[in-house]
Amino acid sequence: MAQTGASLTASPLWARLRRWALPALGIFVLGLLLSHAHKVDWGGAWDALKQYPPLLLLGVLALATASHALYGCFDLIGRRHTGHPLRWWHAWAIAVTSYAFNLNLGSLVGGVAMRARLYARAGLDEATVAQVVGISLATNWLGYCLLAGGLFAAGVIAPPDQAPISPFALRAIGVGMVALAAGYVVLCAVGRERSWKVRGKTLHLPSPPLAVVQLMLSAANWALMGAAMYLLLSGKVPYGVVLGVLLAASIVGVLTPIPAGLGVLEAVYIALLAGMVGQGKLMGAVLAYRALYYLLPLAGGLLLYAALERYHAAHAVEDVEGLVGGAGDGMASGRPVAGSVFKSG
């Protein structure tokens, strides 16, 4: 592939904006939460939790499980793109494990550090891991742009009066988000032979069909998350509104430096849906969602992490042989294969 040699670096202006904008956003969200906390019917929230039928909770748990399983497929896209020889279930398990930690401990711990450690233990080199992580992150947020941008542009949700953004500005942002997702596919189509250097790492664009798969899988994953919350609200709020609010809460949670976005999801839902659902019912739904989508999968993620570490320790020799053999097969077929170095322990 031809190299562009382009190096992307953060501008001093962006660094200054990030330094001040993110704390300001965090203060705004915390203020929003505190301004509504005394209005929440906590007794009603507990009553709402007790009234959920077991079958409904099982249905929500099934949607949450399907969402986590679908997220694991993001790393299968990275596996296809890089050609690394780890077995498909191995890459999937690493992605599912890191996602559970990501939700509860933050993206740096789960989305990056945990994934990097597990892939390194499996024998992948740093450059390949960076490619896989980059593909996964791009998949998640480009699908978000496509789905959230469409909802924002359509005016499905309106920002609260105290929010520092107008409905027109939110619609304009939505249009820009959809354009970004579409532009990514176009770039993959016209820039197939180009690569980019980001902080010293060379990243190659995927093929256009693979880019479309990225958008579709990610949009489906976000849609499953919205469906889980929709069931917990017992259909009292239109699905499009529920999904739009969840998407808005998700991006605020990412931008706000609070572990697991604690309080952010609750604050955004209370601010945007307080007039449509009773406080007790709404808070009960959010707490149930956090338990079924965040906490229970974390327990599963801990078990899966322990199983992966045990597997890596027990199969170090086999993994090295499989990786070397996979690289040899790839070179014989002319397919680019990621390099690998594995050291047990």
Flag whether 1 is in a domain: no
Helix (H, G, I), strand (E, B) or coil at 197: strand
**Model confidence over 216-236: pLDDT tens digits?**
999 999 999 999 999 999 888
Quick one: CA dihedral 116, 70, 88, 204, positive or negative? Answer: negative
The per-residue pLDDT for range 258-296, each reduced to its tens digit, is: 665 666 777 788 888 877 888 888 888 999 999 999 999
Residue 138 has pLDDT above 80, yes or no: yes
- Report the share of the chain in percent with pLDDT over 90: 46
Measure the CA–CA gap between 184 and 218, rounded to whole angstroms: 14
Question: Could you read off the pLDDT of 32-48 as tens digits, one per residue?
Answer: 555 555 555 667 778 88
CA 151 to CA 133: how far, in whole Å? 27
Look at residue 175 and tell me if it is in a domain: yes
Tell me which DSSP letter residue 154 carries. T
Residue 332 placed within a domain: no
DSSP code, position 329? H
Per-residue confidence (pLDDT) for residue 183, from 0 to 100 = 95
Q: Does residue 202 surpass a pLDDT of 70?
A: no
Using the predicted structure, report yes or no on whether residue 153 has a pLDDT greater than 90: yes
Q: Is the pLDDT of residue 30 over 50?
A: yes
**pLDDT over 50 (residue 165):** yes
Instruction: Give, in order, the Cα–Cα distances in Å from 252 to each of 23, 48, 51, 78, 245.
Output: 12, 26, 30, 27, 11
**Sequence-distant (≥ 6) Cβ neighbours of residue 186 within 8 angstroms:** none
230 in a structural domain: yes
Band (pLDDT 50/70/90 cuts) for residue 66 is: very high
Distance CA 318, CA 322 (A): 6
Query: Is residue 64 included in any domain, yes or no?
Result: yes
Question: Any idea what the Cα angle at residue 333 is, between residues 91 and 197, rounded to 5°?
Answer: 60
pLDDT of residue 161: 73
Domain that residue 66 falls in: 44-321
Q: At residue 160, does pLDDT exceed 90?
A: no
What is the amino acid identity at position 265? L
Residue 29 lies in a domain: no
Specify if 141 maps to a domain.
yes
**Band of the pLDDT at 201, cuts 50, 70, 90?**
low
Confidence of residue 343 (pLDDT cuts 50, 70, 90): very low
- The H or E element containing residue 85 is none
pLDDT number for residue 193: 62
In this structure, the number of other CB atoms found within 10 A of the CB of residue 181 comes to 23
Question: Would you say residue 10 has pLDDT above 80?
Answer: no
Phi, psi angle pair for 293, to nearest 5°: -100, -25
Q: Is residue 74 within 8 Å of 135, Cβ to Cβ?
A: yes
The encoded tokens of residue 144 equal: 């978000």
Residue with more model confidence, 235 or 202:
235
> Which of the two residues, 113 and 60, has the higher pLDDT score?
60
> Average pLDDT, whole number, for the chain?
80
Share of the chain above pLDDT 70, in %: 73
- Segment holding 339, helix H or strand E: none
Rounded Cα gap, residues 142 and 182, in angstroms? 9
pLDDT at 100: 93
* Sheet of 7-8, strand order: 7-8, 195-198, 201-204
Please give the residue that has the higher pLDDT: either 338 or 314: 314
Domain count, the chain: 1
On whether residue 131 sits in a domain, the answer given is: yes
Average pLDDT rounded to a whole number, residues 1-19: 47
Quickly state the pLDDT bin for 3 (edges 50, 70, 90).
very low
Residue 344: predicted pLDDT:
32
User: Apex CA 88: angle with CA 340 and CA 194, to 5°?
Assistant: 60
Q: What pLDDT does 32 receive?
A: 55
**How high is the pLDDT of residue 38?**
52
Question: In a 3-state reduction of DSSP, which class is residue 60?
Answer: helix
pLDDT tens, position by position, 90-131: 999 999 999 999 888 877 777 788 898 999 999 999 889 989
What is the rounded CA–CA span in Å between residue 155 and residue 132?
Answer: 35
